[in-house]
């Protein structure tokens, strides 16, 4: 069996990557009050070429956060408001007839950007949602038989409102599995809410006040290479695999009252996502190696949208978090 790569000392490239990450974190915190988990999840998505699904009620700075991430890396930002009448061509692009040349020309859609915000993705139809699958997975779109690459780095941030479900279309399992992380954005504390009010009064939330770029697209590409080289021991790979495996064999490892809630567990893609995100979290924490706590900290964010619970769980209002907590308790930490 191929062994995991041995740890290596932190070199100049790794130190430079940590400096870039520190500047990005500072730029985010300067414009978004609190929301440390949101900052962490968005940066993990950016540094791993992953995508992030955000779930929350309106008004919790999701659009602001996405725009700050794009502006801080001097990237191209596009926001797509998903509605039931949105067409796939509205996202990926289409061919338009040019009367001057009497020929068709290709007009690329807003998905051809570095940071794409799909606002209320579950309000678009399944056909329109599927238009994003090729872009998210293959980093390309196909228009009239011609393939157009998506610019790198590429980050999709999709939001959905858990409260208003009228006129929405649930995301398919294939669609949700394309998201590296699902982040549930919570309300700010009273102190954080006061800080938001103060910043509004002092003009720091002026819509015309853009975030100054603190990193280039080339910087992000270099940090992504550093993240891929972060040391992850075989024991921790096995730990991640066992955590995910428990959800697929719940009757064997979990208490009966929890196991019977699970209809389908997470796929090997979840294990890959957990290891990938853990490497990025290590860099965000100023390390070049993964700790068991990194995997445990990310378990909810990586697994909660990949578990399919049965009718009993839905009727009792039980969330996937209960199953994930049981899995964490069932697997020995190396």
The residue with tokens 């699904």 is 53
Distance in angstroms (rounded) separating the CA atoms of residues 118 and 53: 9
Per-residue DSSP letter, 189: P
> Is the pLDDT score of 27 beyond 70?
yes
Distance in angstroms (rounded) separating the CA atoms of residues 64 and 83: 20
Distance in angstroms (rounded) separating the CA atoms of residues 48 and 6: 21
Mean pLDDT of 316-322: 84
> What is the pLDDT confidence band of residue 7, given thresholds at 50, 70 and 90?
low
For the record, the structure tokens of 182 come out as 């699902």
pLDDT of residue 6: 60
Q: Are 82 and 123 in contact (CB under 8 A)?
A: yes
Q: 140-143 and 146-149: which strand pairing?
A: antiparallel
Distance in angstroms (rounded) separating the CA atoms of residues 161 and 120: 7
Q: Are 67 and 73 in contact (CB under 8 A)?
A: no
Distance in angstroms (rounded) separating the CA atoms of residues 6 and 234: 10
Identify the weakest region by mean pLDDT among 248-257, 286-295, 296-305. Answer: 248-257
Per-residue DSSP letter, 231: B
Q: For 179, phi and psi rounded to 5 degrees?
A: -90, 125
Return mean pLDDT, the chain: 87
Q: Which helix (H) or strand (E) holds 62?
A: helix 62-72
> Is the pLDDT score of 272 beyond 90?
yes
For the record, the structure tokens of 231 come out as 């040391």
> What is the pLDDT confidence band of residue 312, given thresholds at 50, 70 and 90?
confident
Mean pLDDT of 171-178: 83
User: What is this structure's pTM?
Assistant: 0.89
pLDDT of residue 130: 83
> Is the pLDDT score of 201 beyond 70?
no
> Is the pLDDT score of 163 beyond 80?
no
Q: 115-119 and 140-143: which strand pairing?
A: unpaired
Q: 115-119 and 155-160: which strand pairing?
A: parallel
For the record, the structure tokens of 295 come out as 């995997």
Distance in angstroms (rounded) separating the CA atoms of residues 333 and 292: 7
Which residues share a beta bridge with 93?
A: 108
Residues of the chain with pLDDT > 70: what percent?
92
> Is the pLDDT score of 325 beyond 70?
yes
> Is the pLDDT score of 17 beyond 80?
yes
Enumerate domains of the chain plus CATH numbers. 16-229 (3.40.50.300), 231-334 (1.10.8.80)
């Amino acid at each position: 069996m191929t062994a995991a790569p041995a740890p290596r000392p932190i070199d100049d490239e790794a130190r430079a990557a940590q400096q870039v990450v520190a500047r990005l974190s500072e730029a985010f915190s300067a414009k978004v009050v609190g929301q440390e988990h949101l900052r962490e999840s968005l940066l993990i998505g950016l540094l791993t070429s992953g995508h992030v699904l955000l779930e929350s009620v309106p008004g919790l700075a999701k659009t602001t956060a996405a725009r700050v991430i794009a502006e801080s890396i001097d990237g191209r930002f596009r926001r797509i408001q998903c509605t039931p009448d949105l067409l796939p061509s509205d996202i990926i692009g289409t061919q338009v007839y040019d009367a001057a040349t009497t020929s068709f020309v290709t007009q690329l859609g807003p998905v051809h950007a570095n940071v794409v915000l799909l606002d209320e993705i579950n309000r678009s139809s399944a056909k329109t949602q599927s238009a994003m699958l090729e872009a998210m997975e293959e980093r390309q779109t196909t228009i009239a038989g011609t393939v157009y690459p998506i610019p790198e780095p590429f980050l999709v941030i999709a939001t959905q409102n858990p409260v208003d479900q009228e006129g929405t279309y649930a995301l398919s399992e294939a669609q949700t599995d394309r998201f590296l992380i699902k982040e549930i954005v919570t309300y700010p504390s009273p102190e954080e809410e006061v800080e938001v009010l103060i910043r509004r009064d002092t003009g720091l939330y002026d819509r015309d006040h853009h975030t100054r770029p603190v990193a280039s697209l080339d910087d992000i590409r270099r940090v992504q290479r550093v993240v891929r080289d972060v040391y992850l021991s075989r024991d921790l790979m096995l730990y991640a695999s066992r955590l995910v495996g428990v959800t697929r064999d719940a009757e064997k490892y979990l208490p009966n009252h929890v196991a019977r809630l699970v209809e389908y567990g997470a796929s090997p893609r979840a294990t890959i996502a957990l290891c990938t995100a853990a490497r990025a979290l290590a860099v965000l924490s100023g390390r070049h190696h993964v700790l068991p706590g990194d995997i445990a900290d990310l378990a909810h964010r990586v697994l909660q949208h990949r578990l399919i619970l049965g009718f009993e769980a839905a009727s009792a209002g039980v969330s996937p978090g209960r199953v994930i907590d049981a899995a964490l308790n069932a697997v020995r930490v190396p």
